[in-house]
Amino acid sequence: MLPLEAGRVRLFLLLGDVQSLLEQMQAQVHAWYLDGFAPARNPAMWSTAVLQQVARLTVPGGTFATFTAAGAVRRRLAAVGFAVEKVPGFSPKRESLRGYLAQPPAITDVSPWFANPSVPHGVMRRSSEPAWPGRQRRKL
Ligand SMILES: C[S@@+](CC[C@H](N)C(=O)[O-])C[C@H]1O[C@@H](n2cnc3c(N)ncnc32)[C@H](O)[C@@H]1O
């Protein structure tokens, strides 16, 4: 972990396979930059399993940005709880994606016989306001 900006930013540097590292990681991530080569050439970086881990580790309202605008990535990010929008890309990319965690993933790892009966299985919680730096709340 590298503290930057007088400790206000903590950069995690993980070396190894993305899926197994994220599965072991415990953190509360506020911002992701997803930069894993083109999805068509490196699908392992963009799998549903990996993006589920990204969502698990993200604080409600936490953001992502990525150079890709691939439809499969957009749909997977939405499926794991991110509100996603297409925005203009940087040269040479015409479009890119960004978004925020609108809906934390459902609780899926609670076995019925351990579950607290007062908590409905699979209960979901909605996040508070999304935080786009310097912007008002907006519809995606
Ligand atoms: C386009 S580079 C971006 C690197 C970094 N964002 C930068 O700007 O220097 C993509 C990176 O993803 C890493 N990568 C690709 N597939 C991976 C995987 N399955 N697990 C972990 N890292 C992976 C590559 O080693 C490479 O460092």
Give the per-residue pLDDT at 123. Answer: 34
Give the per-residue pLDDT at 131. Answer: 40
* CA–CA separation, 59 and 48 (whole Å): 19
Give the per-residue pLDDT at 51. Answer: 98
User: What pLDDT digit, counting tens, does each position of 34-91 carry?
Assistant: 999 999 999 999 999 999 999 999 999 999 999 999 999 999 999 999 999 999 998 8
Give the per-residue pLDDT at 106. Answer: 61
- The answer to whether residue 7 is domain-embedded is no
Residue 42 alpha carbon, nearest atom of ligand 1: 16
- The answer to whether residue 6 is domain-embedded is no
Compute the distance from residue 78 Cα to the ligand 1 centre, in Å.
22
Q: Calculate ∠ Cα 37-92-22, nearest 5°.
A: 25
Task: Tell the residue nearest (CA) to atom 24 of ligand 1.
Answer: 36
Amino acid at the residue 40: A
Give the per-residue pLDDT at 1. Answer: 87
- The answer to whether residue 118 is domain-embedded is no
Compute the distance from residue 32 Cα to the ligand 1 centre, in Å.
13
Phi, psi (degrees; rounded to nearest 5) at 77: -60, -40
- The answer to whether residue 80 is domain-embedded is yes
- The answer to whether residue 125 is domain-embedded is no
* CA–CA separation, 114 and 104 (whole Å): 21
Rg (CA), the chain: 16
pLDDT more than 70, % of the chain: 74
* CA–CA separation, 80 and 120 (whole Å): 20
Higher pLDDT, 47 or 115: 47
Ligand 1: residues whose CB is within 6 Å?
17-18, 35-37, 42, 44-45
Cβ neighbors of 59 (< 8 A, separation 6 or more) are 28, 29, 30, 101
- The answer to whether residue 36 is domain-embedded is yes
User: Are the C-beta atoms of 95 and 88 separated by less than 8 Å?
Assistant: yes
- The answer to whether residue 5 is domain-embedded is no
